[in-house]
C-alpha cells in the first residue's frame, strides 16, 4: 500500500493550527518537523551520550505533513488545505511561506521511519511517554509510564505545550481530583492526570476520530481504564456538574472561546490549566482570564510556548 503525504511549510506558531487543518481534511495522522524541538532535546536514556549538535535537524521554520490514503482526491485536498492555511494570518498566526506540496510515500518506508524516530521520552520528572512497541522499564522509582499508540502521528507527548500541561498537572494534582480534559486528542493528558493521582476523568474532543484514538490509548494504560471519553464541542455537551481541574491544550483562538465558559464547570477554587499559547498571545490570554474572574497563579515557559495555571475564586464573582 502507498500513501500520499501533503506537506505544509510554515512557522512554529502555526504548527497546531495546520495539524488541525490536515486532520479535519481527513489525514490519517501528522508528522511535525520543528526547528525549535532541538531547544528542548533531552536523551530519554541518561546512558546514551548523544550531543544535541550531532543530531541532523532543520535550522529554521517548521513543516507539518499529513498522511492520506492513495485514493484520496489530492487536487481537491491541496486546494482546500491551501485556502485554510492562507487564512491563518487573519487569526494572528505567522504561517509563511505556507506552501502546500504533495509527496508519494511507500507504506513500508513510512512505517520504518515512524518507529525509527519515536522512542521513549522523559516528558517530566515523573512522566515518561513510551510507544507501545518499545519494551521499556522505568529507570527511577517515582517514574510513571504512559504507553501510547500514536498511529501516524509523530512525536506524541514531546511538543512543548504537552510538556507544559503535564508539568502543570504535577503542580496541582494532590489526589482524587475530578478532571475534564477538553480537546483530549491522544488522551495523553487525561492519562497523565490519572497516573499522578487524579480521580474521575472525562476527556472530550470535537472529533469522533480523536475520541476513538484516545480510547485506544486509554486501553493501553490499565491505570486509566475508567477514564470516560465523549464527543463534545468544547464544553457544550458535558455533564452538568463541577470539576476540580479543567485541562485545555489547544489554539489560543479556541482558548479565548473556552475561557468565559469554564467557570460553569469549575468547583470553587478549582484550577484551569491551559496551554497552546504562543509567546505573543500570553498577555492577551492572561487579560481574558482576569476579566472572567480567574486568578493566574503560575505562568510557565518552554521555548516560545506558555502554559498557565489559573484559579477560580468564586467569592470574587
CA distance linking residue 8 with residue 151, whole number of Å: 20
Alpha helices in 226-268 (DSSP H): 252-262
Those residues whose C-beta lies under 8 Å from the C-beta of residue 232, and which sit 6 or more positions away, are 204, 205, 206, 238
pLDDT at position 264 is 93
Q: Which three cell numbers stand for residue 68?
A: 492520506
pLDDT of 50-97, one tens digit each? 444 444 456 789 999 888 877 788 899 999 999 999 999 988 889 999
* CA separation for the pair 295, 71 (Å, rounded): 50
pLDDT at 36: 76
Q: What is the DSSP string of 171-185?
A: HH--SS--EEEET-T
The confidence score (pLDDT) of residue 58 equals: 64
Confidence at residue 49, expressed as pLDDT on a 0 to 100 scale: 39
pLDDT value at residue 221: 96
Phi, psi (deg, nearest 5) at residue 39: -65, -25
Distance CA 7, CA 67 (A): 9
Question: Which residue numbers in the chain have pLDDT < 50?
Answer: 1, 38-56, 152-155, 316-317
C-alpha to C-alpha distance for 58 and 202, rounded to whole angstroms: 38
Residue 19: phi and psi, rounded to 5, are -55, -45
pLDDT of residue 206: 87
Output the pTM of the full model.
Answer: 0.75
What's residue 107's pLDDT?
A: 58
Q: Check residue 46 and report its DSSP letter.
A: T
Beta-carbon count within 10 A of 269 CB: 12
User: Between β-strands 144-148 and 127-131, what pairing exists: parallel, antiparallel or unpaired?
Assistant: parallel
CB 191 within 8 A of CB 218: yes
Measured from the Cβ of residue 289, the count of other Cβ atoms closer than 10 Å reads 21
Q: Phi first, then psi: what are they for 306, rounded to 5°? A: -125, 150
CA torsion 168-172-174-175 (nearest 10°) is -70
Amino acid at each position: 500500500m502507498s500513501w500520499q503525504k501533503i506537506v505544509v511549510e510554515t512557522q512554529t506558531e502555526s504548527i497546531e493550527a495546520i495539524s488541525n487543518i490536515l486532520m479535519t481534511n481527513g489525514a490519517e495522522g501528522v508528522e511535525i518537523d520543528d526547528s525549535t524541538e532541538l531547544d528542548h532535546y533531552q536523551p530519554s536514556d541518561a546512558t546514551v551520550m548523544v550531543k544535541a549538535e550531532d543530531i541532523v535537524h532543520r535550522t529554521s521554520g517548521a513543516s507539518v505533513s499529513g498522511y492520506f490514503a492513495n485514493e484520496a482526491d489530492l487536487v481537491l485536498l491541496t486546494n482546500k488545505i491551501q485556502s485554510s492555511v492562507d487564512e491563518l494570518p487573519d487569526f494572528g498566526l505567522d504561517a509563511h511561506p505556507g506552501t502546500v506540496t504533495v509527496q508519494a510515500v511507500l507504506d513500508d518506508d513510512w512505517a520504518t521511519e515512524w518507529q525509527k524516530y519515536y522512542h521513549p521520552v522523559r516528558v517530566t520528572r515523573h512522566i515518561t511517554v513510551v510507544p507501545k512497541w518499545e519494551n521499556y522499564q522505568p529507570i527511577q522509582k517515582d517514574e510513571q509510564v504512559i504507553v501510547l499508540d500514536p498511529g501516524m502521528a509523530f512525536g506524541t507527548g514531546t511538543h512543548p505545550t504537552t510538556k507544559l500541561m503535564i508539568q502543570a498537572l504535577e503542580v496541582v494534582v494532590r489526589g482524587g481530583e475530578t478532571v475534564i480534559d477538553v480537546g483530549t486528542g491522544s488522551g495523553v493528558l487525561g492519562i497523565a492526570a490519572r497516573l499522578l493521582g487524579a480521580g474521575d476523568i472525562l476527556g472530550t474532543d470535537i472529533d469522533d476520530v480523536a475520541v476513538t484514538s484516545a480510547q485506544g490509548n486509554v486501553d493501553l494504560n490499565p491505570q486509566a481504564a475508567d477514564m470516560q471519553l465523549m464527543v463534545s464541542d468544547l464544553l457544550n455537551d458535558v455533564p452538568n456538574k463541577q470539576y476540580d481541574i479543567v485541562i485545555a491544550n489547544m489554539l489560543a483562538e479556541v482558548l479565548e472561546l473556552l475561557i468565559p465558559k469554564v467557570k460553569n464547570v469549575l468547583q470553587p477554587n478549582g484550577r484551569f490549566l491551559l496551554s497552546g499559547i504562543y509567546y505573543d498571545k500570553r498577555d492577551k490570554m492572561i487579560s481574558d482570564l482576569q476579566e472572567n474572574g480567574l486568578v493566574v497563579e503560575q505562568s510557565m515557559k518552554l521555548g516560545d510556548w506558555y502554559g498557565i495555571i489559573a484559579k477560580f475564586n468564586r467569592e470574587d464573582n
